[in-house]
């Protein structure tokens, strides 16, 4: 396919070098280090106030913690165990804001919570906990929980273990795709004027009179070095926050505790779960089993991570922990390591607390203001990203005012619709999908493809359909048109540079696209080479990295008991 015939988009992976050159001669109000959900939220908050913003991410956007969660926008039920009522209230409110601003990405689904004789919760304590939770979180009347008898629990989910079952409840959790949410927030920031560049690693800092006034960075694609200047620099690097602070010489008494959580994905035919379930493991912890796209994923674990933050591992202990948990709660489901289709492993960047287990450490965020002027933010949860951004922006605004930048408006992200999210509710999302299916029939798009696009890209689906029509004459094998159109959109409109950017984070296919995934990747292997987003030799190396990630998943299946 001839990519020269595809017009450049506002956030185009083929245009990185020109953007880097432009950024190096600009002087920004704010530089944000880290392209996870926290950095994305800060970039949107700052740009929507009219500030000039540059965000730098050393890998791809959402490739760290923000793409490796349980893919739920929690209301904070689990924080009741820690008696953290303020956090429950805050994340409940933030969840409602997200649902309003991105209804195609964040929407409620039933979650079953069974109660057993030997479980950590009884029926009455569960009722009390859910009542308190929904009051604090401000849950809408139509989404309130309902209690179930043991017979009703078994009817709701026939696979559930019934020995010792005394009842349960169904409440609402909000489903999402974490990496897509992160990219959508960043895309919205770019639409408000921010510059966001992936594969740019901060190596050092510019100091003027002992104060941080910019960064020195290396483009990981070309190897070129750049210098970027700003009035304020914010470190929102997630698990790498301490690394960035060390580079800046900004030490603190408090440090991160990295804990690791893995998830396993299984085919729905082997684990035909009807409903999402949140269940006791037997050791005081609870995990999720969630159906999605014909698969079921289970997680998560909670282990202290001592290795590199760049490549969080999978262990035999964690794998077996999850498989045994399924065996305990769903005894008729017979699963072994060979049934694992895919998996992901992510890190939680928590603020270390003495004498506490990983699962007991607070998920609160914290801001560190260093003597050299660097601002750092760590901790927190996916759900609370917007509020975290608002908190640190108060410090940023105070700094800018001290430098004579006045007239900065207050935070407005509470009412900013995320890119493509112009829907009133989920019914409007479904109606739109039906309209787009009618528009796309001539380019071979089926209902499943269109529905998947709408839940990923919202009303930006129209751009993918238009691309499909424009590239139709260029592609001999018409069965490839819809996938090619989606990939082209991700390159030209979402800064995808390498194949892994699309297969892992833009589409989630690495996790939910098996068993056809390796063949699909091979069929489109040359697309990113031809796009010109990165030199061919670098692109090939990154593509091999994608295959190595696939090999790691395959190895997880083969680990001996």
Tokens for 111, please give them.
Answer: 């979650």
For 156, phi and psi rounded to 5 degrees? Answer: -65, -40
Strands (E), 303-431: 303-304, 340-351, 365-369, 375-379
- pTM for this prediction: 0.95
DSSP state, 209? T
How far is the C-alpha of 190 from the C-alpha of 386, rounded, in Å?
16
How far from 495 is each of 15, 38, 368, 386, CA to CA, in Å?
9, 19, 31, 22
Q: What pLDDT shows up at residue 357?
A: 62
Tally: H helices and E strands in the chain: 18, 18
Q: Could you read off the pLDDT of 118-131 as tens digits, one per residue?
A: 888 888 989 998 99
Q: What pLDDT shows up at residue 546?
A: 85
For 36, phi and psi rounded to 5 degrees? Answer: -85, -170
Tokens for 469, please give them.
Answer: 């029509």
Q: Could you read off the pLDDT of 376-419 as tens digits, one per residue?
A: 999 888 999 999 999 999 999 999 999 999 999 999 999 999 99
Write the DSSP assignment of 417-440 as a string of letters: PPTT---SSHHHHHHHHHHHHHHH
Q: What pLDDT shows up at residue 10?
A: 85
From the number of C-beta atoms within 10 Å of its C-beta (0-12, 13-18, 19+), residue 372 rates as: middle
Q: Which domains does the chain have, with CATH numbers?
A: 10-65+180-255+362-415 (3.50.50.60), 108-175+257-356 (3.30.9.10), 426-558 (1.10.8.870)
Could you identify the residue written with the tokens 């109606």?
A: 431
Q: What pLDDT shows up at residue 561?
A: 41
How far is the C-alpha of 418 from the C-alpha of 73, rounded, in Å?
15
Query: Which has the closest alpha carbon to 329: 113, 147, 71?
Result: 113
- pLDDT tens string, the chain, 561 residues long: the values are 677 778 788 899 999 999 999 999 999 999 999 999 999 999 999 999 999 999 999 999 999 999 999 999 987 777 777 777 888 888 889 999 999 999 999 999 999 999 999 888 888 989 998 998 888 888 888 899 999 999 999 999 999 999 999 999 999 999 999 999 999 999 999 999 999 999 999 999 999 999 999 999 999 999 999 999 999 999 999 999 999 999 999 877 788 999 999 999 999 999 999 999 999 998 888 999 999 999 999 999 999 998 889 988 888 899 999 999 999 999 999 999 999 999 999 999 988 866 566 665 666 789 999 999 999 999 888 999 999 999 999 999 999 999 999 999 999 999 999 999 999 999 999 999 999 999 998 998 999 999 999 999 999 999 999 999 999 998 989 999 999 999 999 999 999 999 999 999 999 999 999 999 988 998 888 888 788 888 888 888 888 788 878 887 887 787 544
């Amino acid at each position: 396919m001839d990519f020269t015939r595809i017009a450049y988009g506002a956030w185009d992976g083929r245009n990185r070098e020109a953007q880097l050159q432009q950024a190096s001669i600009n002087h920004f109000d704010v530089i944000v280090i880290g392209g996870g959900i926290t950095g994305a939220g800060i970039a949107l908050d700052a740009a929507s106030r009219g500030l000039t913003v540059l965000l730098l991410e050393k890998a791809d956007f959402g490739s760290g913690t923000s793409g490796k969660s349980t893919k739920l926008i929690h209301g904070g039920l689990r924080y009741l165990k820690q008696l953290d009522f303020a956090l429950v209230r805050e994340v409940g409110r933030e969840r409602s804001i997200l649902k309003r601003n991105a209804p195609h990405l964040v929407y409620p689904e039933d979650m079953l919570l069974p109660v057993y004789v030997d479980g950590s919760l009884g029926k009455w304590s569960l009722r009390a906990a859910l009542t308190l939770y929904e009051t604090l979180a401000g849950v809408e009347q139509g989404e309130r929980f309902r209690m179930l008898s043991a017979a009703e629990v078994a009817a709701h989910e026939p696979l559930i273990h019934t020995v010792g079952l005394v009842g349960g409840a169904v409440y609402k959790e909000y489903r999402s795709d974490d990496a897509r949410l992160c990219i959508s927030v960043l895309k919205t920031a770019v639409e408000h004027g921010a510059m966001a560049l992936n594969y740019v690693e901060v190596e050092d800092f510019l100091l003027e009179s002992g104060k941080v006034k910019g960064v020195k960075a290396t483009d990981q694609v070309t190897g070129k070095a750049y210098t970027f200047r700003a009035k304020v620099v914010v470190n929102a690097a997630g698990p790498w926050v301490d690394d960035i602070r060390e580079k800046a010489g900004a030490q603190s008494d408090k440090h991160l505790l990295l804990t690791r959580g893995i998830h396993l994905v299984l085919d729905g035919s082997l684990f035909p779960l009807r409903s999402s379930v949140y269940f006791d493991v037997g050791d005081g912890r609870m995990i999720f089993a969630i159906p999605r796209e014909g698969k079921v994923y289970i997680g998560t674990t909670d282990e202290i991570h001592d290795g590199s933050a760049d490549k969080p591992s999978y262990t035999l202990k964690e794998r077996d922990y999850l498989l045994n948990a399924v065996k305990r709660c769903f005894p008729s489901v017979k699963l072994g390591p060979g049934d694992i289709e895919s998996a992901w492993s992510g890190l939680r960047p928590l603020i270390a607390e003495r004498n506490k287990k990983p699962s007991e450490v607070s998920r609160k965020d914290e801001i560190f203001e260093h003597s050299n002027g660097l601002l750092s933010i760590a901790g927190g949860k996916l759900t609370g990203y917007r509020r975290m951004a608002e908190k640190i922006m108060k410090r940023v605004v105070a700094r800018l005012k001290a430098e004579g930048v006045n007239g900065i408006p207050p935070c407005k992200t509470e009412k900013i619709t995320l890119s493509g999210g112009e829907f009133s509710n989920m019914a409007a999302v479904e109606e739109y999908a039906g309209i787009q299916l009618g528009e796309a029939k001539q380019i071979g798009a089926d209902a499943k493809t269109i529905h998947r696009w709408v839940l990923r890209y919202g009303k930006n689906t129209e751009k993918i359909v238009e691309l499909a029509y424009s590239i139709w004459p260029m592609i001999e094998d018409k069965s490839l048109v819809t996938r090619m159109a989606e990939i082209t959109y991700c390159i030209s409109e979402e800064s995808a540079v390498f194949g892994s950017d699309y297969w892992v984070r833009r589409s989630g296919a690495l996790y939910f696209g098996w068993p056809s995934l390796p063949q699909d990747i091979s069929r489109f292997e040359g697309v990113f080479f031809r796009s010109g987003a990165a030199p061919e030799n670098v692109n090939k190396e990154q593509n091999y990295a994608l295959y190595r990630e696939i090999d790691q998943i395959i190895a997880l299946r083969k680990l001996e008991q």
